[in-house]
Amino acid sequence: MTISTEISPEDREKIAELRKLVRDDLTEYYDTDFNLLRWLQGHTHLDVPHIARKLRHHLKARKSTWDLDNMHKKTRTHPIHNHWRYGITGHSGVLENVIVNIEQCGRTDYSGMMECFSISEVMKARVYDLEEMLAQCMELEKATGKQAWILYVMDVTGLEYNKKLYDLITGSMKSLAEFMAEHYVELIKFFVPVSIPSFAVALWTVVRPLLPERTKHKVQILSSSNWKDEMLRFSKADALPSIWNDEIHSFPAHVDRPQPFPKDWYHSNKGIEVPEDVKEIDVHAGKYHSITLHLNQGDVISWWISGSRNFGFGIYLATDEDDNDYAV
């Protein structure tokens, strides 16, 4: 348990209450005042018992087979990692206790990634980086006694506005953003998109309603012409990447460029033989569809599923078909 003098008496009291409510699921690694404080900061509209329910959901995920507490100790070797690059470049030096992460949004082949890997595999790869960000924040907090954050810089150089991009930001990438907001609460200080293309206004109009309310207020929009100089309001040059260098700017931090996914990795269900009498179901991103079956002991269920996008499904046993309580 990490104690800090930078936390107000009121917050300290709430942290103690929250810790008590989730103690059965709280691991020694995750049990710091600042980790619990983040959940209070991210859910100011909820009382502590409701926050505890949300936190307990995350803590159960940490103790699952993914073993999140030890994820940051492992080697970054998932096949996706060559195509979705590591982005931590150092400390801001301008914003106190802030670590800089460069996300190469425009160069990363998100569309190809979703053609090659299931959403669960994408999450396995992505969670490694999220846990690394959390671990570095925790290390900085332990050293300074103050809350640490991530400056999430989104380099959109090379981004093209087309239907694939629209499908990504309203579908798979929206789900990833929601996962990050739900499980890594208040880890991000600011989101800073840079090298913004001319269609940014149209893109922002589409994206903004999809973002959690607190995330919207963390987005810092820079100019399209002078953004490299404006970035110095958020970070010293030492933590900015050399891929931005030109005749005027010379930044030293190194980030590897993402590689596109090979087309022969793409999964396709075209040409698959579909059984007779199957039912086609249209489920939009972020939505769900339920099927109720009245079964007796000894009944056997079988199903055939093929989809055009990633999805998850589960089976729930209920004594009443109107039951709808999936809360942790």
| % the chain with pLDDT above 90 | 62
Considering the domain boundaries, does residue 3 fall inside one? no
| DSSP H helical ranges for the chain | 9-22, 33-42, 48-62, 110-116, 119-144, 163-170, 172-183, 200-207, 213-216, 227-230
Q: Tell me, what's the pLDDT at 326?
A: 53
**Are 80 and 53 part of one and the same domain?**
no
Residues contacting 275, CB < 8 A, separation 6+: 304
- How many distinct structural domains can be found in the chain? 2
For residue range 154-181, list pLDDT tens digits in order: 999 988 777 777 777 777 777 788 888 8
State residue 168 phi and psi, 5-degree precision. -65, -50
Considering the domain boundaries, does residue 294 fall inside one? no
**Are 250 and 172 part of one and the same domain?**
yes
Dig out the tokens for 217 from the structure.
Answer: 């207020």
**Are 40 and 113 part of one and the same domain?**
no
**Are 14 and 79 part of one and the same domain?**
no
For residue range 82-119, list pLDDT tens digits in order: 999 999 999 999 999 999 999 999 999 999 998 899 88
Instruction: Check whether 328 has a pLDDT greater than 50.
Output: no
**Are 254 and 236 part of one and the same domain?**
yes
Q: Tell me, what's the pLDDT at 320?
A: 80
For residue range 105-114, list pLDDT tens digits in order: 999 999 999 8
DSSP sequence for 145-180 = SS--EEEEEEE-TT---SHHHHHHHHTHHHHHHHHH
**Are 132 and 257 part of one and the same domain?**
yes
Strands 98-103 and 88-91: antiparallel
pTM of the full predicted structure?
0.84
Q: Tell me, what's the pLDDT at 271?
A: 72
Dig out the tokens for 41 from the structure.
Answer: 């900061």
Considering the domain boundaries, does residue 288 fall inside one? no
Alpha-carbon distance of 272 to 163, in angstroms, equals 25
Considering the domain boundaries, does residue 316 fall inside one? no
Q: Calculate the average pLDDT of the chain.
A: 89
**Are 232 and 152 part of one and the same domain?**
yes
**Are 223 and 183 part of one and the same domain?**
yes
Q: Tell me, what's the pLDDT at 322?
A: 76
**Are 183 and 214 part of one and the same domain?**
yes
**Are 94 and 241 part of one and the same domain?**
yes
Domain of 141 in residue numbering reads as 70-265
Q: Tell me, what's the pLDDT at 264?
A: 92
Give the end of a domain, one of 40, 64, 88.
Answer: 64
Dihedral in degrees, nearest 10, Cα atoms 272, 275, 276, 282: -70
**Are 151 and 49 part of one and the same domain?**
no
User: What single letter denotes the amino acid at residue 293?
Assistant: L
Give the end of a domain, one of 236, 265, 294.
Answer: 265
Dig out the tokens for 149 from the structure.
Answer: 């954050």
**b (16+ CB within 10 A) / e for 231-262:** beebbbeebbbebbeeeeeebebebeebeebe
CATH number for the domain that contains residue 188: 3.40.525.10
Give the end of a domain, one of 218, 240, 265.
Answer: 265
Alpha-carbon distance of 237 to 251, in angstroms, equals 6
Q: Is 323 exposed, middle or buried (0-12, 13-18, 19+ CB in 10 A)?
A: exposed
For residue range 281-310, list pLDDT tens digits in order: 888 877 888 888 899 999 998 888 877 666
Considering the domain boundaries, does residue 193 fall inside one? yes
**Are 83 and 227 part of one and the same domain?**
yes
**b (16+ CB within 10 A) / e for 3-26:** ebeebeeeebebbebbbebbeebb
User: What single letter denotes the amino acid at residue 267?
Assistant: H
Neighbours of 103 (CB within 10 A): 20
For residue range 180-238, list pLDDT tens digits in order: 889 999 999 999 999 988 776 666 666 666 566 777 788 898 988 899 999 999 999 99
State residue 2 phi and psi, 5-degree precision. -100, 125
Dig out the tokens for 154 from the structure.
Answer: 């989104």
Instruction: Check whether 253 has a pLDDT greater than 50.
Output: yes
Q: Do the beta carbons of residue 251 and residue 227 sit within 8 Å?
A: no
